[in-house]
Structure 1
Amino acid sequence: MTHDALPPGLDAPLRHGLAELGLSPDLAPPLLAYLALLVRWNGTYNLTAVRDPRQMVTRHLLDSLAMHRFVSTGTLADLGSGPGLPGIPLAIAHPQLQVTLVESNGKKARFLRQAVRQLGLDNAEVAESRAEALDAPAAYDHLTARALDTLAGIVAVGGHLLKPGGTLLAMKGVIPHEEIAALPPGWALVQATPLSVPGLDGQRHLVTVGRVAAKPA
């Protein structure tokens, strides 16, 4: 697949970042193929506010993949996936992970379907739907929502999708103590894990939330 939409010099920093994250540098070609497709579509459809492909390597690809070790297998619903972040990079990195890209915006869903087809991602599918309307109760081991809402808001629209024992994995900057305190009854923080994103300054945390087991009467 051609990468004509990309400036030269992206391969080396991407491979370096992948190595820092404990991933194979051999993932660079399919990730750059996805990035080239995103850059081409972004010119017409405004899929992301980040316009510089060099920044996209860090802020989209590597930032999405910083959580990869927490979702290497099972089923994942990426809520409000937008242009496929973090769902598509995670699907590329982990072929054994089954990813559903949940996106209600028509133009973004069209891009996602094209990306899944063009990249040959047999482990990814697109659900053009609002998360709360997705009829897949208790179908997923994990939920992600990169920039969708507060933790309580994500639980409200997507909590029904989680299997018993499943986890919501939310990418945040600093630990969102107020959001954690505002979680609805029956939900609680599992852990907040600091993440290191190659090339990205500032704090980054993966906030893991799950259901609280009901106490016996």
Structure 2
Amino acid sequence: MTDGHDLDAPLRAGLADLALPGELAPSLLAYLDLLARWNRTYNLTAVRDPREMVSRHLLDSLAMNAYLDGIATLADLGTGPGLPGIPLAIARPGLRVTLVEANGKKARFLREAVRTLGLGNAEVAESRIEALDRPGAFDAITARALATLPQILEFGAHLLAPGGRLLAMKGARPDEEIAALPRGWRLQTLHRLTVPGLEGERHLAVVGRDAAATA
């Protein structure tokens, strides 16, 4: 992997752009180093260049941090190598993050990452999303490049507490997916995200239960 010192400056600059403290950089770089080392054997991510990992993995995940206020428990569905869950767990020690991943090799990496980084606020659930028996356990669920909004709800809506929300990270505006939301769900807000070092559109779709439709 590229020397961590080469990544420290762009990471800290990106953190500053996201209004996050530079003190997060060492833990985030430790995670990135672990991911890069495991990736040589286990092919956890198609992104190989460490500088690209800073923007496409770390800063992209952290771009949703500003919208997590008031959320105590978060399930990251189909988290893969821990994105966005591990960067968010590093940035928010008070947030309880459950990393949901069915793939065995990725789950092994996640457990090693949680142990190595000392993330007492993160746990790994090696399970298919729809099979996870934690009904109503989470204030929010999130997913990054997993599926369409209706599909994410089909898989994981049972995990949401009353009043819970889906926070889905998307590229371009997901207008067709929003129009296809199942009965009883509605778009609450759609945030345009700016990710340092990344071109192209990024959005965060916040979806909740429609009280009027379910009454």
Q: TM-score range by the shorter chain?
A: over 0.9
Structure 2 CA distance for aligned equivalents of residues 53 and 199 of structure 1: 13
Matched, 1:67 2:64: yes
1:33 corresponds to which letter in structure 2?
A
Q: Secondary structure at the match of 1:112?
A: helix
The 8 Å contact of residues 82 and 99 in structure 2, kept in 1 or not, is answered as yes
Structure 2 CA distance for aligned equivalents of residues 49 and 83 of structure 1: 11
Counterpart selection for 1:118 from 109, 113, 116: 116
User: Unaligned stretches of 5+ in structure 1?
Assistant: none
Cα gap change, 1:115/1:216 in structure 2, threshold over 3 Å: closer, same or farther? closer
Counterpart selection for 2:171 from 170, 173, 180: 173
Which residue number in structure 2 is paired with residue 6 of structure 1? 2
The 8 Å contact of residues 6 and 39 in structure 1, kept in 2 or not, is answered as no
Structure 1 CA distance for aligned equivalents of residues 115 and 194 of structure 2: 31
Q: Secondary structure at the match of 1:10?
A: helix
Superimposed CA distance per residue, residues 144-172 of structure 1 (whole angstroms, 9 cap, x where no aligned partner): 10011000000000000001111100111
Which residue number in structure 2 is paired with residue 158 of structure 1? 156
From the two aligned structures, give the one with the greater helix fraction: 2
- What count of residue pairs does the alignment treat as equivalent? 213
Which of structure 1's runs of 4+ aligned residues deviate more than 2 A? Answer: 5-8, 214-217
Which residue number in structure 1 is paired with residue 32 of structure 2? 35
TM-score by structure 2 length? 0.97
Structure 2 CA distance for aligned equivalents of residues 216 and 184 of structure 1: 11
Superimposed CA distance per residue, residues 116-142 of structure 1 (whole angstroms, 9 cap, x where no aligned partner): 000000000000001100000010001
Which residue number in structure 2 is paired with residue 137 of structure 1? 135
Superimposed CA distance per residue, residues 154-194 of structure 1 (whole angstroms, 9 cap, x where no aligned partner): 00000000011111001111111100011111011011000
Which residue number in structure 2 is paired with residue 98 of structure 1? 96
Q: In the TM superposition, what is the alpha-carbon distance from 1:216 to its structure 2 partner?
A: 8.4
Pairs within 5 Å for 1:45-84: 45-72=42-69, 73-84=71-82
Q: Secondary structure at the match of 2:204?
A: strand
Superimposed CA distance per residue, residues 73-118 of structure 1 (whole angstroms, 9 cap, x where no aligned partner): 4000000000000000000000000000000000000000000000
Q: Secondary structure at the match of 1:174?
A: coil
State the identity as a percent: 69
Q: Secondary structure at the match of 2:6?
A: coil
Superimposed CA distance per residue, residues 30-64 of structure 1 (whole angstroms, 9 cap, x where no aligned partner): 00000000000000000000000000000000000
Q: Secondary structure at the match of 2:46?
A: coil
Q: Secondary structure at the match of 1:84?
A: coil
In angstroms, what is the RMSD of aligned CA positions?
1.2
Q: Secondary structure at the match of 1:61?
A: helix
Q: Secondary structure at the match of 1:78?
A: strand
The 8 Å contact of residues 187 and 209 in structure 1, kept in 2 or not, is answered as yes
Cα gap change, 1:14/1:105 in structure 2, threshold over 3 Å: closer, same or farther? same
2:29 corresponds to which letter in structure 1?
L
Which residue number in structure 2 is paired with residue 149 of structure 1? 147
Which residue number in structure 2 is paired with residue 202 of structure 1? 200
Q: In the TM superposition, what is the alpha-carbon distance from 1:214 to its structure 2 partner?
A: 4.0
